A and B are shown apart, each in its own frame.
Chain A
Amino acid sequence: MLIGKPADIAPSEITPVETFRRRREIVKALGLSAIAPLSTAWPALAQAEDAPHQPPIKQFNKTDFGKEEKLTPYQDVTTYNNFYEFGTAKEQPAVNAKKFRTTPWSISIEGEVHKAQTLDMDKLLKLAPLEERIYRMRCVEGWSMVIPWVGIPLSALIKLAQPTSNAKYVEFITAAEPDSMIGVRAPILDWPYLEALRLDEAMHPLTILAVGLYGEYLPKQNGAPVRLVVPWKYGFKGGKSIVRIRFSERMPQTTWMRAAANEYGFYANVNPKVAHPRWSQASERRIGSGLFTRRIPTQMFNGYAEQVGQLYAGMDLAKNF
């Protein structure tokens, strides 16, 4: 144990790994896990399944981002997902994304750019050295995680594309394949999912295109093979399984704005003082912290105010939510 950092849990309270595994085995043997598939039909019987690991990413650089944070366990990051293309319940994407094909994959770069092109994954992975970034992720629903992403700064791709002087916004359009995405068959949202950033937000060094987490390639339920991560904004801004990146002059209507403009704005910056119309945003539940833990206060810009505050200087953030 590090000096000066007291353990927040007594060793006697920790369930030994063997006991824990044995309990899980007992539960499985009793067939309780067998009802997991039912959860897709009836949430009253919902139960998460374990998600398998992905191939490791051979080379990436560690960074100092978030190294003081306690990581959310891999199983939680990969089984508690909002990815409506694979179902609207949190445990569904991990179950329903299996059929989705992520190879081969390419991203079309289009719109107000000098170098419109199609980027395949090999080329994308070579745009900049892969970095690990440990970021807090705050969902608009009031929960949060700490995730060690692996990715490249989005700015590397933008520099390659060379936006024209008209380009003010960057749109991210994600996969919508009814054959392998069960959620796309229902009109829950206006598919395909579209998210967008202002060009300066997109160029910000914190904004990344993630291709992995926990040193492994992204699982499909987390947005394989490539997704956006903007740590100071609510999680829904981070489009998953991106197929098109379009530069535009006008602010686009994003999918969630079209679904409920009074509830989801274009900026969606994490802000404890601006409540969602239906719930407070003042605090959040940290996933993986266990049953008997309190909510923690939500931080302005999710704790990245120092880095990104100047992007919104002079703006009324209650209006531009």
Chain B
Amino acid sequence: MPPSKTTLSCYKLLLFVLGLLPLLRLLWLGFSDELGANPVEFIEHSTGTWALVSLLLSLVITPLKLIFGWPWLLLYRRMLGLFMFFYACLHFLSYLWLDHWFAWAEIIEDISKHPYVLVGFTALMLSLPLALTSNQFMMRKLKRRWKTLHQLVYPIAILVILHYWWLVKQDITQPALYALVLAILLLARVYLRLNPKLNPKS
């Protein structure tokens, strides 16, 4: 039996509060001077990591929905996607402001010259139309094209992993772990499509 409407709303509120925790933690640590020796790097890394985590969580929804037959899970995918965009914007803002003080010439050179910056920037630009079309109105308006457009999330996810991978100096353990999670999530989609029996809807 699907959860009641009240339960679903409670889950949604809970997810919203959970999604804000990384930001609240940063504010708290900043206020109490606990951001460590390199606070700018700390904020850049933290917001970047949480954007990636939100993105991967948003990609967990569809396989879970298909495997367990929980269509109501879709209610939370949009919020996870928007949290990804929110933290990615904070990540970019901390880069523009705290790291480079809006020195545009320097920033443009950094983005164009350095592949890891460029792929990160591209991923953010690609997620902009997704955030803008995430509301009901645009969903109705775009109809089937909406789904096609939102499949951009896959190249975005790959670019984000590359961004992390190319940034790391030597120890690629962390980006490799995230890449593994993404690979599982993508393969799960392929598998579920090839085995429609597992898909209760079809």
Contacts and interface: CB of A to CB of B under 8 A. Distances in A.
Interface string B3-38: 000000000000000000010010011111111111
A44 B50 contact: yes
B32 to A, nearest CB: 4
B140 interface: no
A171 B109 CA distance: 38
A80 B53 contact: no
Interface stretch (B70-78, B129-137, B168-176, B179-187): B168-176
Interface string A14-42: 01000010011011000010000000000
A224 B53 CA distance: 37
Contact of A27 (B32, B45, B53, B101): B32
Contact of B166 (A24, A46, A76, A278): A278
B38 A32 contact: no
A287 B34 CA distance: 14
Given A44-B46, A44-B50, A278-B166, A27 B34 contact: yes
A24 B50 CA distance: 24
A278 B168 CA distance: 10
B116 A48 contact: no
B69 interface: no
Interface in A70-97: 75-76, 79-80, 84, 88, 90-91
A291 B100 CA distance: 12
Given A43-B45, A90-B38, A280-B110, A20 B33 contact: yes
Size bracket, chain B contacts: 35 or more
A259 B116 CA distance: 19
A23 B34 CA distance: 9
A84 B37 contact: no
Given A24-B32, A79-B36, A291-B40, A43 B114 contact: no
Main secondary structure of the interface of A (DSSP, over half): loop
B38 A15 contact: no
A210 B43 CA distance: 32
A84 B170 contact: yes
A47 B29 contact: yes
Contact of A79 (B29, B37, B174): B37
Given A24-B33, A79-B36, A280-B110, 4 more contacts: A88-B169, A280-B109, A280-B114, A291-B43
Closest 6 CB pairs of A and B: A80-B37, A76-B37, A88-B171, A23-B32, A48-B36, A44-B49
Interface of B: 22, 25, 28-43, 45-46, 49-50, 53, 98-101, 109-110, 113-116, 166-167, 169-171, 173-174
Interface of A: 15, 20, 23-24, 26-27, 32, 43-44, 46-48, 75-76, 79-80, 84, 88, 90-91, 141, 143, 186, 188-189, 259-260, 275, 278-280, 285, 287-288, 290-292, 294-295
22 contacts: A23-B31, A27-B29, A32-B29, A43-B49, A44-B49, A44-B50, A46-B36, A46-B42, A46-B45, A75-B37, A76-B37, A80-B36, A80-B38, A186-B171, A189-B170, A259-B170, A278-B116, A278-B167, A280-B113, A285-B40, A291-B35, A295-B100
